Amino acid sequence: MPHQSIIREPEVAGTGVVPTQSGGRGAIVGDIMGDIPAWRKHRDSKFEAVWNEFYAKWRGFWAPEHKSFKTERSRLISPLTAMAVDMTTAEIVEAVLGREYFIDMPDDVADKDTQDVDLARKLLVQDLRREGFVDEFACIALNGCLYGTGIAKIQISVKTIKTISRNKEKALTVTEKEVVQIKPVAIEPGNFVADPATRDIDEMKGCAHEFMMPITLLQSRQAAGVYYDDVKVGSWGVRVMNQRRGDTEEGNVRNQGEAAYITEYYGLVPLRHFQQTIAEDKGTPLSDAVLQAIPEEQMIEVIATIANESTLLRVIENPLMTGERLMVAYQHEAVPGRFYGRGVAEKAANVQRAMDAEMRARIDSLAWANLPMFAADLTRLPPNSNMNAWPGKLWGTRGNPNEVLKEFKVSGPDQNSYAHLQDLERMGQQATGALDSQGLRAGMRDETATGSALAASSFIKRSKRTMYNIEGFMNRLIRRVARLKMQFDPAGYPQDYEFQVRGSIGIMARELETQFMVNLMSVVGGDSPAAMPIIKAIFAHSGSPVRTDVLAALEKSEQENQPTDEERKLAKDAQKAQLKLPIAQLKKIVAETEKLLSESELKEEQADKTEAETKAIVDNKPLAQAKVIIELEENEIQERSLDIQEDKNKLTSRGLDIQQQIANQGKKK
């Protein structure tokens, strides 16, 4: 048959499964299963062992390969990885979904009516929450923290919604309504097969989600027309999914029940094979000439579902009109040039192994110390003696018991192991960046608000780094979900909106930020214009259930306190009037200054005139000048004579004093 040439050989699929269908269906199965096993082998060769270890340490499951040395008896597992993964996941979920509306939608600046944008945002958030997006995102974030990569597929399904109402006769009736459900679904990296040629999921040739589906569910979908109903699928018992890892003591070996092995492929297939399949389903197969006219390298984006690696259940063209792939992924911490990122468990792996070895060695040492060994002379013990020991047992001996029995004591565990465990825990927190509330108070420097902020800054900076990756992931995911809803629900989503997801900070950073704003509020004061924005920011960071109501009340109060146009005009006029007063005062001061200057100039002119007149008099009347000079000399002579007379009087007085003193001395003799 002509189509046999394009069906790949069975051994290429890796499991020896021969496609059970011919024609276009068999060709598509051959195209897809020719790549999937090689991609899966490439993934498992690098990550299967470490992912199994990460999962087991997170769940607390012990496996023989986890022994540090052959004689190790204890099976304890340190909770370091579980604590770091759970704490980081909680921070991410709170940062993204902590707000009631975790999606922002920038509106057109020229559009004065923002009500349509706000309604679309609320409707999208309501639909996502109702369809279980919160639980799925928590699983996506958990996979990212545990394995380093969070992956989600956008699942489109038709769901029947049943509502109960009363008719005119007041009897209860059930009303059914079919709606299109668009739901993001988390995928564990162990169940995801990616093209290793590139790190961008949109640039890959294809990718696949592998999972087990109960036969009953598969048959119900065939009856509903979702899958082809002209094929029969049996249960699959060849290999076990990685999602079963460590759930039993036997590891991945377990009874899978009646389930089929489903490979859901998202990617490119040859266009000729797709058109051949569609034509055969319609009963009008294409001729060889038509198939050969289609270039072999021409590809089309499809979603194909294959059961047991051999039976095609469905193949449809990518339903998203923009052609974007309905698979989105992010790296918890980016690894350059790689699709799979680095998670929290990978950073804690070495410290986890060291803590497990330390704890198990301590427990084994306690067993040796608490249960000592005995040596006995069997020739001096009663025959067939029970050698088991228990409290209160009587040991019968033939002779002195001190000579027949001897205890071997083993010292207890090293006391330094406590300090070792504390140091390892500190190293684990430093490696993962996951700090608990008690860790922030480990030192004296953490007793202050500044010290706590410095201690938490490392985790906050690391969480922000991860949040950048998650925001990009969420923007791509939400944009594709919104466009699908616009296609299938044109009434609720009449146009293509531009959604943006902005993750807020986590709980720890939120507490520090709130404390900082409270301190800032005491600095700026309640009357400052910055007081209201700070108060709104404090409530926005709060986790109170009435946070939305408080913010709405603050917004309403702020709008009510805004002045009207008339009040603004009156305030402007009053401001102008206040400005006029200092201007008038300034003009008055300038006028007075000019008056004083003019008066000063007038006085100077008068003084110059008087001086000129005096000079003219002196120049024109020498006789008068001589009289003045003579008069001045006479006055000077008179003053000198007065001074001479005064000196004479002083001398006379001094002579009288001397005579009186001489007379007094003569009387004493």
Spatial distance between the Cα atoms of 616 and 175, rounded to a whole number of angstroms? 129
Q: Which residue has the tokens 């003579």?
A: 630
Residue 455 pLDDT:
52
Q: Please tell me the distance from the alpha carbon of residue 623 to that of residue 657, in angstroms, as a whole number.
A: 52
209 vs 386: which has the higher pLDDT: 209
Split at pLDDT 50, 70, 90, the class of 653 is low
Q: What is the pLDDT of residue 180?
A: 85
**406 bridge partner residues:** 375
Supply the pLDDT for residue 15. 46
Closest CA to 108 of 496, 490, 494: 496
Note the pLDDT tens digit of each residue in 598-645: 766 676 677 666 666 666 655 555 555 556 666 666 677 677 667 666
Contact 531, 525 (CB under 8 A): yes
pLDDT of residue 20: 67
pLDDT of residue 330: 93
Structure-model confidence comparison of residues 373 and 445, the more confident one? 373
pLDDT at 112 over 70: no
Task: For residues 515-544, give the mean pLDDT.
Answer: 74
The model's confidence at residue 648, banded by pLDDT at 50, 70 and 90, is: low
Query: What pLDDT does residue 107 have?
Result: 52
Strands 311-317 vs 327-331: parallel, antiparallel or unpaired: unpaired
Between 27 and 594, residue with greater pLDDT? 27
What mean pLDDT do residues 63-80 have? 86
Identify whether the C-beta of residue 426 lies closer than 8 Å to the C-beta of residue 343: no
The length of the chain in residues reads: 669
Token pair for residue 184? 């993001």
Instruction: Note the pLDDT of residue 331.
Output: 93
Sign of dihedral through CA atoms 487, 492, 496, 497? negative
Question: Distances in Å between the alpha carbon of 300 and those of 206, 266, 270, 280, 481?
Answer: 11, 11, 6, 18, 21
In the chain, what percentage of residues exceed pLDDT 90? 21
- pLDDT value of residue 424: 81
Model pLDDT for residues 454-508, shown as the tens digit of each residue:
555 555 666 777 888 888 898 899 889 988 988 888 888 877 666 666 655 555 5
pLDDT band at 375 (very low <50, low <70, confident <90, very high): confident
533 vs 575, which has greater pLDDT? 533
**What would the mean pLDDT of 30-53 be, rounded to a whole number?**
92
Residue with tokens 């909680």, as numbered in its chain? 90
Give the residue among 328, 349, 341, 330 at the shortest CA–CA distance from 141.
330
Q: Examine the pLDDT at 570 and tell me if it is beyond 80.
A: no
Q: Model confidence at 18, in pLDDT bands (50, 70, 90)?
A: low
CA distance to 80, 303, 417, 542, 567, per residue, from 361 (Å): 17, 52, 9, 46, 80
- Report, as an integer, the average pLDDT of 7-15: 35
Lowest mean pLDDT among 60-69, 322-331, 531-540: 531-540
CA dist 346 and 84 (Å) reads 11
Mean pLDDT of 384-412: 82
**Looking at residues 321-341, what average pLDDT do you find?**
91
**Distances from the Cα of 430 to the Cα of 347, 424, 427, 434, 436, angstroms:** 10, 10, 5, 7, 12
Q: Which residues pair with 182 in a beta bridge?
A: 156
Mean residue pLDDT across the chain: 77
On whether the CB atoms of residues 196 and 42 are closer than 8 A, the answer is: yes
Q: Identify whether the C-beta of residue 27 lies closer than 8 Å to the C-beta of residue 6.
A: yes
- Reported as a pLDDT band with limits 50, 70 and 90, residue 287 is confident
Whether pLDDT at 444 is above 50: no
Work out the pLDDT band at 373, boundaries 50, 70, 90: confident
Spatial separation of the C-alpha atoms in residues 224 and 211, rounded to whole Å: 21
Quick: pLDDT tens for 146-200. 999 999 999 988 888 888 888 888 888 888 888 888 999 999 999 999 999 988 9
Are the C-beta atoms of 243 and 52 separated by less than 8 Å?
no
Amino acid identity at 598: S
Predicted local distance difference test score (pLDDT) of residue 152: 95
Whole-angstrom distance, CA of residue 84 vs CA of residue 193: 27
pLDDT tens digits, 234-269: 887 665 545 445 554 444 444 556 889 999 999 999
Q: Is the pLDDT of residue 403 over 60?
A: yes
* 3-state class (DSSP) for residue 185: strand
383 C-beta neighbours (distance < 10 Å), count: 5
